[in-house]
A and B are shown apart, each in its own frame.
Chain A
């Protein structure tokens, strides 16, 4: 019974990971309302979740690209949010 439970647990984990990878690669749908948001709006909404908003002039374009990738890993931004915030 213990072995069976472990197998079931492993199966659930594998299925969950599979769903996550499938969703990750294919992406989920985004509503028109969200898709229509400007980069400035997304930038304001996401930065403020944790800290104050930086000025666009704070970083150079190269720096913004690097900062965007770093923030995507921290705040788990979507790719569109990172792209529009450049």
Chain B
């Protein structure tokens, strides 16, 4: 009996030894199939860990910083005064605006751009876009209204070839609360685009100026704005756009409740290679009309005054860049812009203003630029001097050194 147990124990021991030996052999010399399986498993884990999600978040935006020196000579009633300033940062030369972009799949995009500038903290836009169809985007929130081309596409410091904005394009207000539908569509060799918005609109101030009303509307009427554009060349080098805006600007219940504004704009953007140069021409012209009404004389509330509340503004810009050269000169770009703003004569802010700006930009890379610009602004006041102080004539001469980068 004892010998039987002994034999069984020896047998089990031998079996265990053989098993361990096999395992050891297997570890030391894996088969090609085992190696392949292990490699596939490792790759699967790696792919799973690096798989692109449906959602994505990124930060873009811009930073602009610079120096502006200014000398302004003002002449009123034959008496001239001169003032000089030199400062780092003003509305045109300082801005830090990180833009936050959230993408949910390929249907939703949220955009939020807070901005810090000399006015403190603000928000440039905060909206959500739904990509409903190939040529249909629906947007809601605080959005850039579709009017002209400058505010929506060209105002960023790292895009603008000059250090300042053209005068007079801040009417209408660039952003507003509301909804927007837009899209770009092919049309044979051409393309066209539409951009329509309904927003809270603007408010008429006691002196006849307009300001964006913000998140709480001053009346139940909504403002409609829109831009239609066509790109008639197959290489998209030319874009022509027309814009319109209409809406009531009076306060509900007030005597001026039915006063409305109608605005129109045309714009152009053309880029052409004339080797070794790349030539870019941009232009926009705005017309702003507000229904005629009488305004209260600020010096005597029993009296009123009236004027034709009609203003125009526009700019034309040309830039040359030797982009086809193989040396460092290709990073320089020379730009010139003429802008004009004519506000209503006989109003409190009536003036004819010409703005000429010339500048040289050095592109450190595609989104980083160092600019030197010189700007001369001539203003002839056309206010109603029977009521308001004479604004006289002024000539402003400024130099700008500006650095701008896209984040």
Cβ-based interface call for B239 (8 A): yes
- Asked whether A27 and B186 contact (CB < 8 A) given A62-B52, A66-B101, A73-B109, the answer is yes
Contacts of A21 in B (CB 8 A): 136, 181
B290 close to chain A: CB less than 8 A: no
8 pairs of A and B residues whose beta carbons are closest in the complex: A76-B184, A76-B193, A24-B136, A30-B186, A52-B366, A79-B134, A24-B135, A66-B103
Residues of the A chain whose Cβ atoms lie less than 8 Å from the Cβ of B60:
67, 70
Near B by CB (< 8 A), chain A positions 26-72 give 27-31, 33-34, 45-46, 48-55, 58, 61-63, 65-67, 69-70, 72
Query: In the complex, what residue of chain A is closest to B153 when comparing beta carbons?
Result: A50
On whether the beta carbons of A28 and B187 are closer than 8 Å, the reply is: yes
Within 8 Å by CB of A65, from B103, B111, B135, B159, lies B103
In the complex, chain B residues whose CB is within 8 Å of the CB of A58: 366
| Contacting pair A76 B183 (CB below 8 A) | yes
A3 located at the interface, meaning its Cβ lies under 8 Å from any Cβ of chain B in the complex: no
CB of B159 within 8 A of CB of A45, answer no
Distance of A18 Cα from B39 Cα, bound (Å): 57
18 contacts between A and B (CB under 8 A): A17-B196, A21-B181, A24-B183, A25-B134, A27-B134, A27-B135, A28-B185, A28-B186, A28-B187, A28-B192, A31-B189, A54-B367, A63-B58, A65-B103, A66-B56, A70-B101, A75-B184, A76-B193
Provide the bound-state CA to CA distance between A1 and B367, in Å: 56
CB <8 Å contact, B186 and A34: yes
* CB–CB B237/A45 < 8 A: yes
Chain A minimum-CB-distance residue to B184: A76
Residue picked from A33, A51, A77, most chain B C-beta under 10 Å? A51
In the assembled complex, the Cα of A61 lies from the Cα of B101 at a distance in Å of 15
B residues contacting A by CB (< 8 A) are 52, 56, 58, 60, 101, 103, 106, 109, 111, 129, 131, 133-137, 139, 152-154, 158-159, 181-189, 191-196, 229, 234-237, 239, 269, 271, 278, 363, 366-367
Closest chain B residue to A81, Cβ basis: B184
Partner of A54 from B56, B58, B182, B366 at Cβ < 8 Å: B366
- Nearest-CB distance from A13 to chain B (Å)? 8
For this complex, into which size category does the number of interface residues on chain A fall? 35 or more
Collect the chain B residues with CB atoms within 8 Å of residue A52's CB.
363, 366-367
In the bound assembly, the distance between CA atoms of A61 and B363 in angstroms comes to 25
- Closest chain A residue, CB of each to CB of B270: A49
Cβ of A5 < 8 Å from any Cβ of B? Answer: no
Partner of A53, one of B134, B137, B229, B366: B366
Contact B188 A55 (CB under 8 A): no
Are B236 and A55 in touch, CB under 8 angstroms?
no
A4–B134 Cα distance when bound, in Å, is 36
Q: Is A76 a contact of B229 with CB atoms below 8 Å?
A: yes
Q: Which residue of chain A has the shortest Cβ distance to B156 in the bound complex?
A: A51
Q: How far is the CA of A72 from the CA of B136 in the complex (A)?
A: 10
Measured CA separation A64–B81 after assembly (Å): 54
- Do A23 and B56 contact each other (CB < 8 Å), given the known contacts A50-B159, A76-B193, A78-B191? no
B186 neighbours in A (Cβ, 8 Å): 27-31, 34, 78, 80
Instruction: Knowing A24-B136, A73-B182, A79-B134, say if A33 contacts B237 (CB, 8 Å).
Output: no
CB distance from A73 to the nearest CB of B (A): 5
Q: How far is the CA of A78 from the CA of B136 in the complex (A)?
A: 10
A77 contact from B106, B139, B184, Cβ within 8 A: B184
When the two chains form their complex, are residues A74 and B189 in contact, meaning their CB atoms are under 8 A apart? no
**Cβ contact within 8 Å between B366 and A69:** no
Instruction: Using A24-B183, A25-B136, A66-B109 as known contacts, say yes or no to A74 and B153 having CB atoms under 8 A apart.
Output: yes
Q: Which residues of A contact B229 (CB under 8 A)?
A: 76
A59 to chain B, nearest CB (A): 8
Q: Is A20 an interface residue (CB 8 A)?
A: yes
A residues near B154, Cβ cutoff 8 Å:
50
